[in-house]
Amino acid sequence: MRDFVGHGPTAPLDRWPDGSLVAVNIVVNVEEGAEASWADGEGNDSWGEYTIPIDPTVRDLGTEGHFEFGSRVGIWRLVRLFERFDAPVTFGVCARALERNPPFAEWLRASGHDVLGHGYRWAEVSQMSEEEERADLERAMRVLPELVGRPVRGWYVRSFPSERTRRLAAAHPDLVYDSDSCNDELPYRVEVDGRPWLVVPYTKVHNDTRYFLAPTYAAPRHFAESLIGAADFLLDEARHGAGARLMSVGLHPRWSGQASRATAVRDFLHHVTTTPGITLVHRDQVVRWWIENVR
């Protein structure tokens, strides 16, 4: 059943438990190596640097190269920025991508950053059978904790979840929330098969996919201005009584890891780390805050 009401005019919390008014959670989508490719007998994927799909009967080496840039160069550029600003972030990881990048897997395992399950493969689950989707989830949930050395508590899929995605995630004993919804900014509870389940919404707006989806960003500064404007507006809302705000940001190493576009990430990190009232958080930190403080 669809819900058109949500939390209503004010948030359940006046401010976050650490005293901040706005919590910013950056989610880095680690997908490179999990996308469809000829090398894996899966055809071509169209989400590289170009949005123009190549003839499916021809191997798309160009797009494969764009994905490889993300894991070879882009992820490390973003990592350096996060370390420079001492920024906690969430890595939404496809398990196959992590298997194919051992140096990053080792770094992530040694870090204190949050890990969000993003499938074994980076594939549209809406085009899978229920058995295929369940198998992908279960395989990812076996592989990811082994690679990162800690539990994975959240789940989200590629662009279009299926009608069964939430039910399958809620049935897994280690998962406590999903981030497949974009219908709110704050977490909220739903019921799945008679049990409470937490949803921590994601965003397709504060997301570097907008470099390719019309209306596109003509320059990285437009992305930075969009993110900074949103954070400042949320802070202003909270100061005027709307309650604690949460801002999600979606990044991809193959896009925001390009040198020019990384300037937008740098400028946004500088802004939020120097603005009183705003804090950077892990997604799992938000989950714990919500479970402990909102009934």
Q: Which tens digit of pLDDT belongs to each residue from 172-192?
A: 999 999 999 999 999 999 999
- Angle of CA points 223, 227, 231, to nearest 5°: 170
Does pLDDT of 48 surpass 80? no
CATH code assigned to 22-293: 3.20.20.370
Place of tokens 């400028």: 267
Closest CA to 113 of 26, 230, 11: 26
Does pLDDT of 50 surpass 90? no
Per cent of the chain over pLDDT 90 is 85
CB 110 within 8 A of CB 150: no
Does pLDDT of 295 surpass 90? no
Q: Which two tokens stand for residue 188?
A: 């909220």
Mean pLDDT of 204-214: 90
Mean pLDDT of 201-222: 91
Q: What confidence category does residue 49 fall into, taking pLDDT thresholds of 50, 70 and 90?
A: confident
CB 154 within 8 A of CB 116: yes
Does pLDDT of 43 surpass 90? no
User: Residue 218 has what pLDDT?
Assistant: 86
User: Residue 216 has what pLDDT?
Assistant: 83
Domain ranges of the chain: 22-293
Q: Which two tokens stand for residue 52?
A: 């123009």
Burial (Cβ within 10 Å: 0-12, 13-18, ≥19) of residue 123: buried
